[in-house]
């Protein structure tokens, strides 16, 4: 029998809803239904799956405003960001709706017959999602997994399940078979762990902290279950002295304070060549002070609250004892507010090494190109990063030398659903999105047909 969790609006601190917490039996029932639904789904023609995913995308498009409002309420995302996220889910579904008819195998020359490969779906895929981008990160897993012929059991974070629950309902409205895409709410240690241990879940996609990701991978190893890990980050925003400093400084707050810094790709270290360090800070200060923090339901708001009181305490603990250069503003009141904060740091400082997951950025100087690369690589993580330079050769050299999965030059873009996304080092294992994601939800089968009588 399940109990329930109380959801809190992070902008007000007030309770909004109770959501059931599934127990192991209920997780097992969802997996059993998914096993049955998957067989019929995979047996259908590719066009049937493509059409079903396109219908799902259209229903999501028709409900963008409702999904966005749920994310404002449950996660405190600014409404404009939440609308982008909901539209992004529809776009991801549309993109992978093209995959069922393109999952071609190979025909390999052999003697005496014919050899072909098939991309077989795993069966049931378990997807475990964090609270920072609840619906978009879920879609990066469920859209290509379904396209490849799998069923999906999805566990949203306990703090932010509302948009995932609604997406599960919209899938059924769009005509996806009952049980094919099941959203199971509850705790990580019960629901998430059951995905790891259940023999009928044949692949796990985990997005979250590096610590939990390592334990999920260890659990999956026990049952030889493939796992994709999207973990933490401490990404560098590297500003060379030949950069367009005005543009680099004006764009730096958005690159780290978007979603209140609760972004795995947050450029939470700004590395500035020493010769332009003072000038860059002069330009950065007004950009940080102008960053608009407040009521997430207003279209003018750029940043809402942190997700919870305990997370705010954790973020604050990173700033204690540091050299704060300047801060932006944040509302008073009952929400979990935290003003954007710029810290001057030294190499090796905790603030320069560990993921804060809040609106706090560490600024560090470096001497030359080699030193900048060394500093950029000086963390356990390797998820994203930005390189600001007007020198093309330098852009190429640095982009190749920084050990991160997703880099941008003279821009902070990280996520395009049609390009691959994921981290190196302690930031993860495997890639999501991009042209090959549906294939990652399949196993290659090789079949030899003897033709000689």
Q: List the catalytic residues.
A: 230, 264
Q: Supply the minimum distance, in Å, between the C-beta of residue 55 and ligand TAP.
A: 27
Residues 424 to 453: which contact ligand TAP by CB under 6 A? 427-428
Let me know the angle formed at the C-alpha of 289 by 286 and 292, rounded to the nearest 5 degrees: 125
Which residues are within 8 A (CB) of 392 and not within 5 positions of it... i.e. 6 or more apart? Answer: none
Binding status of residue 130 toward ligand TAP by CB under 6 A: yes
CA distance 403 to 192: 30
In this chain, which of 38, 132, 136, 301 binds ligand TAP, going by CB under 6 A?
Answer: 132
Q: Supply the minimum distance, in Å, between the C-beta of residue 366 and ligand TAP.
A: 24
Q: Supply the minimum distance, in Å, between the C-beta of residue 168 and ligand TAP.
A: 15
Binding status of residue 337 toward ligand TAP by CB under 6 A: no
**DSSP reduced 3-state for 404:** coil
Q: By C-alpha distance, which of 359, 361, 331, 355 is closest to 343?
A: 361
Binding status of residue 209 toward ligand TAP by CB under 6 A: yes
In this chain, which of 215, 308, 391, 410 binds ligand TAP, going by CB under 6 A?
Answer: 215
Binding status of residue 187 toward ligand TAP by CB under 6 A: yes
Counting Cβ atoms within 10 Å, is residue 377 exposed (0-12), middle (13-18) or buried (19+)? Answer: middle
User: Applying CB under 6 A, what is the total number of residues that bind ligand TAP?
Assistant: 32
Q: Supply the minimum distance, in Å, between the C-beta of residue 247 and ligand TAP.
A: 26
Q: Which helix (H) or strand (E) holds 126?
A: strand 124-128
Q: Supply the minimum distance, in Å, between the C-beta of residue 267 and ligand TAP.
A: 13
Binding status of residue 258 toward ligand TAP by CB under 6 A: no
Q: Supply the minimum distance, in Å, between the C-beta of residue 344 and ligand TAP.
A: 24
Closer Cβ to ligand TAP, 208 or 304, answer by number: 208
Closer Cβ to ligand TAP, 196 or 248, answer by number: 196
Selected range binding ligand TAP among 62-70, 151-159, 277-285, 292-300, rule: CB under 6 A: 151-159
Counting Cβ atoms within 10 Å, is residue 105 exposed (0-12), middle (13-18) or buried (19+)? Answer: middle
Tokens of 98: 């093209």
For tokens 């709706």, the residue is 97
CA distance 212 to 82: 27
Binding status of residue 131 toward ligand TAP by CB under 6 A: yes
Binding status of residue 81 toward ligand TAP by CB under 6 A: no
In this chain, which of 168, 188, 305, 359 binds ligand TAP, going by CB under 6 A?
Answer: 188
Are the C-beta atoms of residues 359 and 257 closer than 8 Å to each other?
A: yes
In this chain, which of 8, 60, 72, 137 binds ligand TAP, going by CB under 6 A?
Answer: 137
Closer Cβ to ligand TAP, 372 or 385, answer by number: 385
Q: By C-alpha distance, which of 77, 172, 177 is closest to 133?
A: 77
Q: Supply the minimum distance, in Å, between the C-beta of residue 447 and ligand TAP.
A: 35
Are the C-beta atoms of residues 134 and 164 closer than 8 Å to each other?
A: yes
Are the C-beta atoms of residues 148 and 99 closer than 8 Å to each other?
A: yes
CA 252 to chain centre: 20
Q: By C-alpha distance, which of 187, 300, 319 is closest to 261?
A: 319
Binding status of residue 264 toward ligand TAP by CB under 6 A: yes
Binding status of residue 76 toward ligand TAP by CB under 6 A: no
In this chain, which of 163, 207, 273, 302 binds ligand TAP, going by CB under 6 A?
Answer: 207
DSSP state of 429: E
In this chain, which of 52, 128, 293, 406 binds ligand TAP, going by CB under 6 A?
Answer: 128
Are the C-beta atoms of residues 146 and 130 closer than 8 Å to each other?
A: no
Query: Could you list the residues that contact ligand TAP (CB under 6 A)?
Result: 128-132, 137, 155, 157-158, 187-189, 192-193, 196, 207-209, 212, 215-216, 230-233, 264, 355, 357, 383, 423, 427-428
């Amino acid at each position: 029998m399940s109990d329930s969790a109380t959801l809190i609006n992070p902008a007000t601190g007030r309770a909004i809803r109770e959501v059931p917490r599934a127990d192991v039996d209920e997780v097992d029932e969802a997996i059993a239904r998914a096993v049955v639904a998957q067989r019929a789904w995979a047996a259908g023609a590719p066009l049937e799956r493509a059409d079903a995913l396109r219908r799902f995308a259209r229903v999501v498009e028709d409900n963008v405003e409702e999904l966005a409002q749920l994310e404002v309420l449950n996660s405190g995302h600014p409404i404009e960001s939440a609308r982008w996220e909901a539209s992004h889910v529809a776009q991801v579904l549309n993109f992978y709706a093209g995959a069922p008819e393109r999952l071609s195998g190979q025909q390999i020359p052999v003697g005496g017959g014919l050899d072909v490969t098939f991309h077989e779906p795993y069966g049931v895929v378990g997807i475990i999602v964090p609270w920072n981008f609840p619906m978009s990160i879920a879609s990066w897993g469920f859209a290509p997994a379904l396209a490849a012929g799998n069923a999906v059991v999805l566990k949203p974070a306990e703090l932010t399940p509302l948009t995932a629950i609604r997406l599960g309902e919209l899938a059924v409205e769009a005509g996806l078979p009952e049980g094919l895409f099941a959203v199971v709410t509850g705790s990580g240690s019960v629901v998430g762990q059951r995905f790891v241990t259940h023999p009928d879940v044949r692949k796990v996609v985990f997005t979250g902290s590096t610590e939990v990701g390592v334990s999920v991978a260890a659990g999956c190893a026990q049952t030889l279950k493939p796992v994709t890990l999207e973990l933490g980050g401490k990404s560098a925003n590297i500003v060379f002295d030949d950069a367009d400093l005005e543009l680099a400084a004006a764009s730096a707050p958005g690159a780290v304070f978007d979603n209140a810094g609760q972004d795995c790709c947050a450029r939470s270290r700004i590395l500035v060549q020493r010769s332009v360090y003072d000038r860059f800070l002069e330009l950065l200060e007004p950009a940080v002070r102008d960053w608009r923090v407040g009521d997430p339901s207003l279209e003018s708001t750029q940043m809402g609250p942190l997700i919870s009181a305990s997370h705010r305490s954790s973020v604050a603990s990173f700033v204690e004892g540091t050299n704060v250069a300047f801060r932006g503003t944040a509302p008073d009141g009952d929400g979990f507010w935290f003003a954007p904060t710029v810290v001057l740091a030294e190499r090796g400082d905790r603030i320069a090494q560990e993921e804060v997951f809040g609106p706090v950025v560490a600024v560090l100087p470096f001497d030359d190109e080699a030193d900048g690369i060394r500093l950029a690589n000086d963390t356990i993580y390797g998820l994203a990063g930005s390189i600001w330079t007007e020198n093309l050769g330098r852009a190429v050299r640095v982009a190749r030398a920084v050990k991160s999965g997703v880099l941008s030059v003279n821009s902070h873009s990280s996520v395009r659903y049609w390009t691959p996304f994921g981290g190196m080092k302690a930031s993860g294992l495997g890639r999501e999105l991009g042209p090959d994601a549906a294939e990652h939800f399949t196993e290659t089968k090789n079949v030899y047909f003897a033709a000689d009588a």
